[in-house]
Chain A
Amino acid sequence: DQQVKQNSPSLSVQEGRISILNCDYTNSMFDYFLWYKKYPAEGPTFLISISSIKDKNEDGRFTVFLNKSAKHLSLHIVPSQPGDSAVYFCAASDGQNFVFGPGTRLSVLP
């Protein structure tokens, strides 16, 4: 029973365009959501987060949107750059533990 789902295993985007990565969750006890980026042979790196009291959080080229009623969040990257090519994990927390999705591999094509 996957509590956090990322239904797109991979995504390809042209450099300069927008990348949209999606995540769905099932547990209504989750109140904090994060995105991590992972390069090969490295640990996940924290990218951006959002609390359940907000519906949007922005940090430079990265914006996370949260739709609590739909139990859905998305990560927007604008403009996408080749260095953004990595695996992106969505994570949800109930304040104690973190549950991760299976990841989406983003490829930004020059």
Chain B
Amino acid sequence: EAGVVQSPRYKIIEKKQPVAFWCNPISGHNTLYWYLQNLGQGPELLIRYENEEAVDDSQLPKDRFSAERLKGVDSTLKIQPAELGDSAVYLCASRRLAGESTDTQYFGPGTRLTVL
């Protein structure tokens, strides 16, 4: 079974430029998460999708961040415009079902963003 796929793995951009990250979850996984991970810290939730619906985006900075999950499979996270403080690793994770307490989430390799 293929794992969570993310691209690109690395991205370097100048501040004020737009950037987009793509995630393909594990087949059959209905729930998809985007996380932000800063150096020396654990992943922090940005947004959670159940199928194509964003059910928790309370931590997403909506002035510059947006996300979509058309057709309830692949997802894209966008930043426009990027700021220096956005430099971090962006992780995507998926889970078979939400609400099942003992259902584990699995992570992709992440995209390391550097904003210059």
B-binding residues in A (CB < 8 A): 4, 9, 31-32, 34, 36, 41-46, 49, 51, 89, 91, 93, 95-103
Which residue from A34, A42, A103 sits with its C-beta under 8 Å from B104? Answer: A34
- 7 additional contacts (CB under 8 A) given A31-B101, A32-B102, A103-B40: A36-B107, A43-B108, A44-B43, A49-B102, A93-B101, A97-B48, A98-B45
Q: How far is the CA of A23 from the CA of B98 in the complex (A)?
A: 24
* 0 or 1 for each of B1-23: is its CB under 8 Å from A? (1 = yes): 00010100000000000000000
Q: A103 touching B42 by the CB < 8 A rule?
A: yes
In the complex, B53 has a CB within 8 A of chain A: no
List the B side residues contacting A43 at CB < 8 Å: 4, 6, 91, 93, 107-110
Which chain A residue has the least Cβ–Cβ distance from B91? A43
CB distance from B105 to the nearest CB of A (A): 6
Interface contact A97-B104, CB-CB below 8 Å? no
When the two chains form the complex, which single residue of A34, A36, A42, A100 contacts B109, counting CB atoms closer than 8 Å? A42
Give the Cβ gap from B10 to chain A, nearest Cβ, in Å. 9
From B42, B56, B102, B110, name the one whose CB has the most chain A CB atoms within 10 angstroms. B42
Given known contacts A97-B56, A103-B42, A44 and B91 CB-to-CB distance under 8 angstroms: yes
The interface bits of chain B over 34-56 (1 if a CB of A lies within 8 angstroms of the residue's CB, else 0) are: 00000011111100100000011
Q: Are B56 and A96 in contact (CB under 8 A)?
A: yes
- A51 CB to closest chain B CB, in angstroms? 5
